[in-house]
């Protein structure tokens, strides 16, 4: 068995800052409600004409990760791309990255596990490296949420939460057995699939029918979230899957140097922090600046924490996510 290790990280967010007050001009909401319920102060949105898309942002983050890994795009053996907001319905964004980065005809796998997407993608990369099949895997999470949200009052409970951005990690084979990805733990519970979902356009709500039926209010083409239901499950599953990962490695919560939770809601992160008995220094949050960027949230946060010098060699870093599906997972990493 080989060891796999994150050797390069990158992030990209669009320049366009959208504050809570900006949103209050478009719908019946306010800064106090958004901050109190979610912790979010502002988020980034792609601006029409700025050249960004889910795959373009992915490439920008990936180039930084590659440079820091001191690798060339030609060295990458596989792309694993997590997103719920691809540029096209099909093919997925992985092949766009392969083309834009002028890579070899390597496999490009698209992961559709929403907020858990990056943890799932890291797990996939880890398995391909540990079996010896590939040496360097590019793992990306990227989202263009602003292109598909309802910015009227009808959609306010969802649209104030989500933001755009991308993060990337180069996961590589390593000879050092004392560090790297120790284990990953993944779960799903499909009976709750409707609680956080986007139903159309799809084969169930297919485009011609949508056009024929027309009455706009009946078309489920904006995301739906049963917020309180999701919240209640999130706090349980986050703690569970972190404990599962720690136990598998004979570790305890007090051993964690840095927990990077998926940035779903600051209240969820604070709840988990308390449940695990962690100090402020042991948990990284940046939802205040970017909102919830779904598959991109963990790689953006991980990159920022690393850039700020909060992650050092030998540290125990834990990634954990929960979201639509429901799906959830954790990754236990010795840096
Ligand atoms: O990343 C994937 C996983 N996602 C999550 O984990 C999200 C989990 N859920 C949440 O974060 C929270 O449930 C929300 C932030 C989505 C909502 O917070 P909440 O405390 O659960 O509020 P609520 O949905 O119970 O709504 C409370 C009130 C309602 O009004 P009434 O019925 O009490 O009169 C809503 O209509 O707040 C109203 N409301 C808003 N008011 C101002 C909903 N959205 C807004 C808004 N601005 N944007």
64 and 189 share a domain?
no
Pair of tokens at residue 114: 């929403």
- Determine the pLDDT at residue 221: 84
Which H helix or E strand runs over 62?
helix 54-69
In the predicted model, what is the mean pLDDT of the chain?
A: 96
Confidence of residue 5 (pLDDT cuts 50, 70, 90): very high
113 and 161 share a domain?
yes
- Determine the pLDDT at residue 207: 66
Go through 13-47 and write b for each residue having 16 or more CB atoms within 10 A of its CB, e for each that does not: bbebebebeebbeebebebeebeebbbbbbbbbbe
From CA 130, how far away is CA 133, in angstroms rounded?
Answer: 8
- Determine the pLDDT at residue 205: 76
Least confident of 206-210, 228-232, 268-272, 294-298: 206-210
Instruction: Tell me the per-residue pLDDT of 24-62, one tens digit each, with 9 for 90 and over.
Output: 999 999 999 999 999 999 999 999 999 999 999 999 999
186 and 149 share a domain?
no
Domain boundary residue, one of 125, 151, 178 = 178
- Determine the pLDDT at residue 121: 99
Look up the domain containing 168 and give its range: 3-178
Closest-CA residue to 72 (of 95, 106, 122, 96) = 106
In angstroms, how far is the first alpha carbon of the chain from the final one?
19
From CA 1, how far away is CA 235, in angstroms rounded?
Answer: 34
- Determine the pLDDT at residue 203: 78
Instruction: Tell me the per-residue pLDDT of 153-193, one tens digit each, with 9 for 90 and over.
Output: 999 999 999 999 999 999 999 999 899 999 999 999 999 99
157 and 245 share a domain?
no
Closest-CA residue to 196 (of 321, 283, 45, 75) = 321
Asked if 59 contacts 101 with a C-beta cutoff of 8 angstroms, the reply is yes
For residue 185, indicate whether it is catalytic: no
16 and 165 share a domain?
yes
212 and 267 share a domain?
yes
Q: C-alpha distances in angstroms, 72 versus 56, 69, 170, 175, 218?
A: 18, 9, 11, 20, 48
CATH number at residue 49: 3.40.47.10
Question: Ligand 1, closest atom to CA 294?
Answer: 1
Confidence of residue 93 (pLDDT cuts 50, 70, 90): very high
Distance 128 CA to ligand 1 centre (A): 40
292 and 324 share a domain?
yes
159 and 218 share a domain?
no
Q: 292 CB under 6 A from ligand 1?
A: yes
- Determine the pLDDT at residue 201: 78
DSSP string for residues in 25-40: TTSS--HHHHHHHH--
Domain boundary residue, one of 178, 210, 228 = 178
Q: 157 CB under 6 A from ligand 1?
A: yes
Residue nearest to atom 43 of ligand 1 (CA): 157
3-state secondary structure of 67: helix
From CA 21, how far away is CA 31, in angstroms rounded?
Answer: 6
pTM more than 0.95 = yes
* CB count in 10 Å sphere of residue 307: 13
Distance 20 CA to ligand 1 centre (A): 15
Indicate whether 204 pLDDT > 90. no
Q: What is the pLDDT averaged over residues 284-294?
A: 98
> Number of folded domains in the chain?
2
Q: CA-CA-CA-CA torsion for 318, 319, 322, 326, nearest 10 degrees?
A: -100
- Determine the pLDDT at residue 216: 54
- Determine the pLDDT at residue 202: 81
Instruction: Tell me the per-residue pLDDT of 240-257, one tens digit each, with 9 for 90 and over.
Output: 999 999 999 999 999 999
Asked if 77 contacts 51 with a C-beta cutoff of 8 angstroms, the reply is no
Catalytic residue among 20, 262, 265, 286: 262
For residue 115, indicate whether it is catalytic: yes
129 and 267 share a domain?
no
18 and 164 share a domain?
yes
Task: Spell out where 89-198 has E strands.
Answer: 108-111, 136-143, 165-174, 180-188, 196-197
Distance 286 CA to ligand 1 centre (A): 20
Catalytic residue among 45, 115, 185, 286: 115
301 and 208 share a domain?
yes
Instruction: Tell me the per-residue pLDDT of 206-215, one tens digit each, with 9 for 90 and over.
Output: 666 556 655 5
Q: What is the pLDDT averaged over residues 118-136?
A: 98
11 and 141 share a domain?
yes
For residue 226, indicate whether it is catalytic: no
Region class of 167: left (phi > 0), else alpha (psi between -120 and 50), else beta: beta
């Amino acid at each position: 068995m080989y060891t796999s290790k994150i050797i390069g990280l990158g992030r990209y967010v669009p320049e366009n800052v959208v504050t809570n007050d900006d949103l209050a001009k478009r719908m019946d909401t306010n800064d106090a409600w958004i901050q109190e319920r979610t912790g979010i102060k502002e988020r980034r949105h792609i601006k029409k004409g700025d050249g960004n898309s889910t795959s373009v942002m992915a490439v920008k983050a990936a180039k930084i990760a590659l440079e820091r890994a001191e690798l060339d795009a030609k060295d990458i053996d596989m792309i694993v791309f997590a997103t719920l907001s691809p540029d096209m319905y099909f093919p997925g964004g992985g092949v766009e990255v392969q083309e834009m980065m002028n890579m070899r005809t390597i496999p490009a796998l698209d992961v559709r596990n929403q907020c858990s997407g990056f943890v799932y993608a890291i797990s996939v990369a880890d398995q391909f490296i540990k079996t010896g099949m590939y040496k360097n895997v590019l793992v990306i999470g990227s989202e263009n949420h602003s292109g598909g949200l309802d910015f009227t009052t009808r959609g306010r409970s969802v649209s104030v939460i989500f933001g755009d951005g991308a993060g990337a990690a180069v996961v590589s084979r390593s000879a050092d057995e004392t560090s790297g990805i120790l284990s990953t733990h993944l779960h799903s519970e499909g009976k709750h699939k409707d609680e956080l979902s986007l139903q159309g356009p799809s084969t169930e709500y297919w485009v011609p029918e949508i056009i024929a039926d027309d009455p706009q209010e009946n078309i489920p083409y904006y995301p739906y979230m049963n917020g309180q239901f999701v919240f209640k499950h999130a706090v349980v599953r986050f703690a569970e899957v972190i404990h599962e990962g720690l136990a598998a490695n004979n570790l305890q919560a007090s051993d964690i140097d840095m927990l990077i939770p998926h940035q779903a809601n600051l209240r969820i992160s604070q709840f988990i922090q308390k449940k695990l008995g962690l100090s402020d220094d042991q948990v990284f949050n940046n939802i205040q600046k970017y909102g919830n960027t779904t598959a991109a949230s963990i790689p953006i946060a991980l990159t920022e924490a690393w850039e700020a010098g909060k992650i050092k060699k030998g540290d125990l870093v834990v990634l954990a996510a929960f979201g639509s599906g429901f799906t959830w997972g954790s990754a236990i990493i010795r840096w």
